[in-house]
Each structure stands twice: as C-alpha cells, then as structure tokens.
C-alpha cells in the first residue's frame, strides 16, 4: 500500500515526488520533517501539498545504494578509522543524536545485535553523532552502548548519512559499497527491536 502524506508548505524542489521521478533530484528531508512535525502538532497552514512518500523513499534509496560510502576520517577513544580500515569487513553504520526518540529507542536492540556479532572478525559496528563529547559520554554510560561512537560536526554527519533523517542505518559490504540504507524508526523499543532483529540482522548476515 502506498503511503501518502499531506505536508505543509514544502519547497517546490520537493513537489516532483508526487510522481516517481526518472532522474533523482535533491531531497530536502529537513523541510519534510519540519512540515510533518507542524502538521502533527495541530498547527494549521493555508496550503498543503501531497507527497507520495513511497516514491520519495524509492528515489532516495536509488540515489544511495550501490555507491561507495563517502571518504572520511574519524577518531574515538579507541583510535582512528577511515574508509581503507573498513575494507574487508561488513560494516553497520548508525547515525543518531540524544534528542532523537527513535534513535534512543533502538539503542537496546543495537546493543543486542552487537553482542550477537562481536565474535565475528569480519564485522564492524560504528556510529556517528553530532552531540558533544560530554553528551556522548553520558549516553554511552546510560545505555551501555556496545559499539564505537564517533563525534562529527552536524555538516559532516549530514554528508556521511547522505542528508537523511535520524536515525539513519547503513550496511556496507566488504568493498565499502552501501548495500542497505534506512532512515527513521519506531519510538517504541519493542518495535525498534523487531526491526533490528527481523530486518537489520538478516541484511547484515546476507553480506558474509
């Protein structure tokens, strides 16, 4: 079933997503999420536009999959990583920030996934956030995160997650190519766990 969202005051650059585009345009997800938030909060605006969310997601997926993960260098307490250091491993990448409710909801399930795959030497799980160091430390201690967290400025997170909403989840194959991409998530931990265990974990295992 196609999901049709009525969103408020979106820029003209997005309106083409009412139909499946033949050429993928830039997608302003910030405007989409702000408009959707405004709508859900009960605020009224004089005009609305209809967005075919399935077509939008299909176009975004086509834009991302099959391409190399962007070049980067990142540092954590455990050391440095870059694209070259990830070659030869199946890599799960998660983008989050503390104020993102779906991000927080999936922490427990992602910890469980990390625990299941920790003995697999061909697997690497990393995450990125634009939160400051103090916030990262607090989150890691509170939720006992079992995977590495790398801090990056907001603009760099936006570049690496392909200008997607949060949370963003990607799987890279052993050659550094993006094979899976998903954005958004359930605010209920039970729903988040279902996604992680029945969708994300099998997608990872397919890459080995």
Delimit the domains of the chain by residue range: 4-64, 73-205
pLDDT of res. 40:
46
CATH class of 73-205: alpha beta
| 0.85 exceeded by pTM | no
Tell me which residues of the chain have a pLDDT lower than 70. Answer: 1-51
Give percent helix, percent strand, percent coil of the chain, each to the nearest 5. 40, 25, 35
Q: Are 90 and 173 in contact (CB under 8 A)?
A: yes
Report the alpha-carbon distance of residue 48 to residue 7 in Å, rounded.
6
Report the interhelical angle of 107-117 vs 133-143 (nearest 10°): 70
Q: Where are the beta strands (DSSP E) in 35-187?
A: 48-52, 73-76, 79-82, 90-95, 123-129, 148-151, 168-172, 178-183
Find tokens 């993960």 and name the residue.
Answer: 69
CA 69 to chain centre: 13
- Bridge partners of 50, per DSSP, are 6
pLDDT at 52: 76
Q: Are 131 and 167 in contact (CB under 8 A)?
A: no
Q: What is the pLDDT of residue 9?
A: 30
- How far apart are the C-alpha atoms of 169 and 182, rounded to whole Å? 5
pLDDT of residue 14: 32
Q: Report pLDDT for 34.
A: 53
* Euclidean distance between CA atoms 2 and 125, whole angstroms: 33
pLDDT in tens, 123-162: 999 999 999 999 999 999 999 999 999 999 999 999 999 9
pLDDT at 27: 47
How many angstroms from the chain centroid is the CA of residue 158?
10
């Amino acid at each position: 079933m196609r999901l049709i969202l009525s969103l408020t005051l979106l820029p003209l650059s997005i309106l083409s997503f009412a139909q499946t585009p033949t050429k993928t345009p830039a997608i302003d997800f910030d405007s989409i999420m702000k408009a959707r938030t405004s709508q859900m909060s009960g605020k009224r605006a004089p005009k609305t536009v209809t967005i075919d969310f399935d077509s939008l997601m299909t176009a975004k997926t086509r834009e991302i999959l099959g391409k190399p993960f962007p070049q980067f260098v990142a540092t954590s307490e455990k050391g440095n990583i870059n694209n070259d250091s990830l070659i030869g491993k199946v890599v799960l990448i998660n983008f989050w920030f503390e104020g993102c409710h779906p991000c927080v909801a999936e922490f427990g399930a992602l910890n469980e996934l990390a625990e299941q795959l920790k003995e697999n030497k061909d697997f690497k799980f990393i995450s990125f956030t634009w939160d400051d160091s103090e916030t990262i430390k607090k989150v890691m201690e509170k939720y006992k995160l079992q995977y590495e967290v790398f801090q990056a400025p907001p603009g760099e997170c936006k570049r690496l997650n392909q200008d997607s909403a949060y949370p963003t989840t990607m799987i890279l194959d052993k050659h550094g190519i993006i094979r899976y991409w998903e954005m958004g998530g359930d605010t209920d931990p039970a729903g988040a766990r279902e996604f992680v265990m029945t969708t994300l974990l099998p997608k990872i295992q397919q890459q080995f």
